[in-house]
Amino acid sequence: MDLQTFWFVLIAVLWAGYLILEGFDFGVGTLLHVVGRTESERGQAIRSIGPVWDGNEVWLLVAGGATFAAFPEWYATMFSGFYLALTLILVALIVRVMALEYRNKRDDPVWRRRWDAAIVASSATPALLWGVAFANIVGGSPLAQDGSFAGNFLDLLRPYTILGGATTLLLFALHGAHFLALRTEGAVRERAHAAATRLWLPTVVVVAAFAVWTLADAEVVRPLAVAATAVAAVALVAVIAMHRAGREGAAFGLTTVAIAGAVVLLFATLYPNVMVSTGPGPDLSIAAAASTHRTLEVMMVVAVLMTPIVLVYQAWTYWVFRARISADGPGDVKTPLDLLDRREPGTS
């Protein structure tokens, strides 16, 4: 594998990590009023992602930074062409941070209801727009001869891209419902189960339609794309069986596999391009968009050294915060550092 292909694959992995981890965060936020009928129940749902949501967002920074460093032409075309859509995503992410942090700053029911509404809106918006953005990358956008974007915001909204947005929104909502069922207790857990049941069929239908449309429009249907679609389909079908059997961890793992399969489908269909053009210019290929060989070489060394450390740390964080969240509180362990300071009763 040459360095350009290596970085294309690594960026696909980074985006898969981001969409899987942030996906259940978006799902929890989108379903906040569905699973939480009271202020206390909504607080319980929010506490389920409290220790991890900001760490999950780091994957977006890494994916964006890697794209900028490894494929600057891709970054320039994508961010100039999708400027308004990406600005809306950025604003939504900023509002979401504010809502999660400010919600409990005042003991005022009206204050909290307003921030809860902001959490729902700022979770559903990027969940929808990320699907629209990736559908435009794979399905094609108007590019000029120099590789720059030659359209406007309305050019990004077509039946295929809107279907892509519905795919990520529903898939993340299902993912979040299974996460809540796995991580909470009481009424919130029961409503998360019910939400997962209602979401399953429309999610399967929309994801299947998007996958078939993607493969049908592909210039070359690659075996990897077909295999990824098959894996995602099997995972989504198996989700309902695990859900009905009460195997919440398995159901959440299967929605994780389905999201990963969708990402592989998109990137396998996109290869060897990074942007597909609907005219008047040509497609933007990996070779045309890539940085110099030396840049990719230095970045590869850093990635090989640092990525395992990040994965181990994040896995440890999830292990620390694996206990279910009750209506009363998050439990004894509040942060990973508290583990270092836990003493037996009666000791000094």
**C-alpha dist (Å) from residue 77 to 137, 246, 289:** 10, 46, 10
Q: To which residue do tokens 């230095």 refer? A: 298
Q: What ranges do the domains of the chain cover?
A: 3-328
Phi then psi dihedrals of residue 325, to 5 deg: -95, 120
State the pLDDT at residue 326: 80
Provide the 8-state DSSP code for 151: S
**What is the pLDDT tens value at each position of the chain, 348 positions in all?**
689 999 999 999 999 999 999 999 999 999 999 999 998 899 999 999 988 888 888 899 899 899 999 999 998 888 877 888 889 999 999 999 999 989 888 888 899 999 999 999 999 999 999 999 999 999 988 888 877 777 777 778 899 999 999 999 999 999 999 999 999 999 999 999 999 999 999 999 999 999 999 999 988 889 999 999 999 999 999 999 999 998 999 999 999 999 999 999 999 999 999 988 887 888 888 998 999 999 999 999 988 888 888 888 888 888 888 888 887 655 444 444 444 454 444 444
Q: Rounded distance, CA 45 to CA 41, Å?
A: 6
Q: Rounded distance, CA 278 to CA 282, Å?
A: 8
State the pLDDT at residue 34: 95
State the pLDDT at residue 319: 86
Is the bond leading into 159 cis (omega within 30 degrees of zero)?
no
Alpha carbon 324 to chain centroid distance?
22
State the pLDDT at residue 311: 86
pTM of the entire predicted model:
0.89
